[in-house]
Amino acid sequence: MRSQPTKRAKLDGALAFSAESLLGPEASLPWGEARQKRVIPQISVRQLQYFAAVYEEGSFSRAAERENCSQPALSAQVRLLEGVLASTLFERSASGVVPTFAGRQFYQHAVAILRSLYVAERDISAIAGHVSGDVCAGLIPSVVRGLLPTFLPPFVQAYPHINLQLVEGFSGTLLNWLLAQEIDFAVVVEPPQHEALEITSLGGGPAVMIAGNQGPVPSGHPVRLQDLPPLKLVLPTPRHGLRSSIERSIWTKDIKVARSMQMDSVCGMIEFVKRSDWVTILPTVAIICDIDSDDLVINPIVDPPLQGQLYLVHLKKVPLGQSATLFVDALQREVDRARSFWESVSDPA
């Protein structure tokens, strides 16, 4: 498993359509006047990609970094696009750029065009008759630790022609890679609202408190954290999707903390609490393989309502291909299985 994704090639080329190519040679009107040809302006795929990047990032410099090009080159392509459309697409200022009304309208069209190109590429590739292709997926550490070991072996055996690249990272990092099109999709918790992203819930369940075998509550029992004495709490770092929700609960006194520390490794957090009197809070999927462990006490949290929901995130303009869809479907089945298993072993009292 690689720790960094490989920069993926982007679609490039030109879109050039004309009325003549669709309607045939120029026709004569009944009264003999020549009808004027209507030619759709030439707009390149690169211009659409650069425009969408500026729109989504709100900055030419950030868009250039995301598209791995120089800012002058990107700005020049956007100016050419504005010239072709005879419309100003962005209001520029020292603090960034804001799309105009025309820019907001054109963004919807640009995303639809880019999406249709990816769909066309996917559909033509599927004509070969067997499932194949490359899938680059970004997964949070909880999924890598809790779900990957059980569903990945049968998946790679069932689909030998799918080339997988799986990268691990916290939600914020994965979303940055996704916007830069370095991964096809990401599975995260607490995704942000972003106009470029399509977000689908995969399910999950309540977050869980994890402790060593001397934990404050018997394993499997639901807990109200405000009823517990002050905890020695291992917090995930701010890059983890659950961190902001846990912090809010600490500020509102729903979680009382005696001491706290931060750790950037899910495996490290679990191993540490196993050997100490500290506790941590993680999504259910992170510890589904540890349900029968004699070394851990695992309790679903019913209050405050911390949810370990998983979300599939990908770019609106880049629909998932057949191979990626198969991978996501297999992951969804594993999430459902893990949730059902957890509900069967946890104490509802």
Find out whether the peptide bond into 153 is cis, omega within 30 degrees of 0: no
CA-based nearest residue to 341, from 271, 270, 266, 290 = 290
What's the average model confidence in pLDDT over 279-286? 89
pLDDT-wise least confident of 118-127, 240-249, 286-295: 118-127
Rounded CA separation 100/90 (Å): 5
Quickly state the pLDDT bin for 112 (edges 50, 70, 90): confident
Question: What's residue 341's pLDDT?
Answer: 67
Q: 135-173, pLDDT tens digit by residue?
A: 999 999 889 988 888 889 999 998 888 899 999 998 888
Does 340 score more than 80 pLDDT?
Answer: no
Question: How confident is residue 258, by pLDDT bands cut at 50, 70 and 90?
Answer: very high
Q: Which residue has the tokens 């072993």?
A: 345
Q: Which is more confident, 259 or 116?
A: 259
Q: Is the pLDDT of residue 296 over 80?
A: yes
Percent residues over pLDDT 70 in the chain: 83
Residue 113, pLDDT above cutoff 60? yes
E strands along 292-339, which residues? 296-303, 310-315
- Which pLDDT band holds residue 294 (cuts at 50, 70, 90)? confident
Answer with the residue of higher pLDDT: 348 or 72.
72
Is the domain spanning 130-202+310-345 CATH 3.40.190.10? The answer is: yes
All CATH 3.40.190.10 domain ranges of the chain, comma separated, are 130-202+310-345, 208-303
Q: Where in the chain is the domain with CATH 1.10.10.10?
A: 14-23+34-125
- Predicted confidence band of residue 15 (pLDDT cuts 50, 70, 90): very low
Indicate the pairing of strand 296-303 with strand 208-212. Answer: antiparallel
For 32, residues 6+ apart whose C-beta sits below 8 A from its C-beta are: none
Residue 170 structure tokens? 């916290």
- Residues forming beta bridges with residue 198, ordered by sequence position: 314
- What confidence category does residue 271 fall into, taking pLDDT thresholds of 50, 70 and 90? very high
CATH no. for 14-23+34-125: 1.10.10.10
CA distance 146 to 331: 11
| CATH numeric code, 208-303 | 3.40.190.10
Residue 108's CB is within 10 A of a number of other CB atoms, namely 11
What digits encode the pLDDT tens for the residues 66-76? 888 999 999 99
